[in-house]
């Protein structure tokens, strides 16, 4: 359901923002049962995945034909490693719904030929018909996927070196920042931008500054998420805290309140 603009949805609480995001994903799956979803990891999508799993348990969602591609994976971690993103997805979503294993794609952190694997991953996305909806979160420095600041805005799936800040932010499953792998395989910004629709979710006061830059600032590789301003159909779902520094928040609320019925989830 293309809108030809960035849509900003501001909800009173994080829980309500997560419910809105889950409802958007539910509508995507119901409208196209064999849709291709781009999946993300980190703290942001965990409550959203829990809501989707609950919908499945209630018989509201069928994942049997859904196909997925994850944004990224750590180099050196196999799919069974407890800190791998493949395990993250299994724990928070895949193991709780009826998705078929053959329909799941996550970059291979043990790939022996990483450039070839990245090219193959791009080809697999194309062969699946492209990503219908890409779920995204944003870091405090504005990276999406593992496209750190200074990443090419036209980049494709590739090897990236993470920043010390990202290592510190992701230290939890590893015990300390120095144990976080320094290299990752990530979809590129150009890859992300080819999704038919992007769904960005950000909550909490800690994201307020980067959210304001992402939505209202200049488009720059220093804050990769700003490129989403150029996406023809991007929905950004926020809570009040994450929206606190937006200059045009009142307008975004007005637009959302006056949406036509056919655009509502």
Active-site residue (options: 108, 148, 169, 194): 148
143 is catalytic: yes
Active-site residue (options: 62, 141, 216, 240): 141
Active-site residue (options: 143, 169, 194, 231): 143
Pairing of strands 183-186, 133-136: unpaired
Active-site residue (options: 20, 56, 72, 194): 72
183 is catalytic: no
72 is catalytic: yes
148 is catalytic: yes
Q: Which of 49, 24, 35 is nearest to 236 (CA)?
A: 24
Residues annotated as catalytic are: 72, 141, 143, 148
């Amino acid at each position: 359901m293309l809108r030809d603009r960035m849509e900003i949805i501001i909800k009173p609480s994080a829980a309500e923002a997560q419910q809105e995001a889950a409802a958007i994903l539910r509508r995507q799956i119901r409208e196209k049962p064999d849709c291709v979803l781009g999946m993300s990891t980190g703290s942001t999508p965990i409550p959203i995945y829990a809501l989707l799993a609950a919908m499945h348990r209630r018989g509201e969602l069928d994942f049997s034909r859904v196909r997925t591609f994850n944004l990224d994976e750590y180099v050196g971690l196999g799919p069974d490693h407890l800190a791998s993103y493949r395990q993250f997805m299994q724990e928070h979503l895949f193991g709780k719904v009826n998705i078929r294993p053959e329909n799941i794609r996550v970059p291979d952190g043990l790939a022996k030929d990483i450039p070839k694997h990245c090219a193959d991953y791009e080809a697999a996305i194309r062969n699946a018909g492209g990503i219908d909806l890409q779920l995204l979160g944003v870091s405090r420095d504005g990276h999406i996927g593992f496209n750190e600041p200074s990443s090419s805005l036209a980049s494709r799936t590739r090897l990236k070196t993470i920043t010390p800040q990202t290592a510190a932010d992701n230290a939890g499953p590893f015990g300390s920042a120095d144990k976080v792998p320094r290299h990752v395989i990530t979809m590129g910004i150009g890859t992300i931008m080819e999704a038919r629709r992007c769904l960005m979710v950000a909550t909490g006061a800690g994201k307020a500054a980067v959210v304001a830059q992402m939505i209202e600032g200049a488009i720059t590789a220093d804050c990769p998420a700003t490129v989403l301003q150029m996406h023809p159909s991007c929905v950004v779902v926020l809570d009040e805290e994450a929206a606190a520094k937006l200059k045009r928040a009142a307008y975004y609320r007005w637009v959302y309140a006056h949406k036509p019925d056919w655009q509502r989830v």
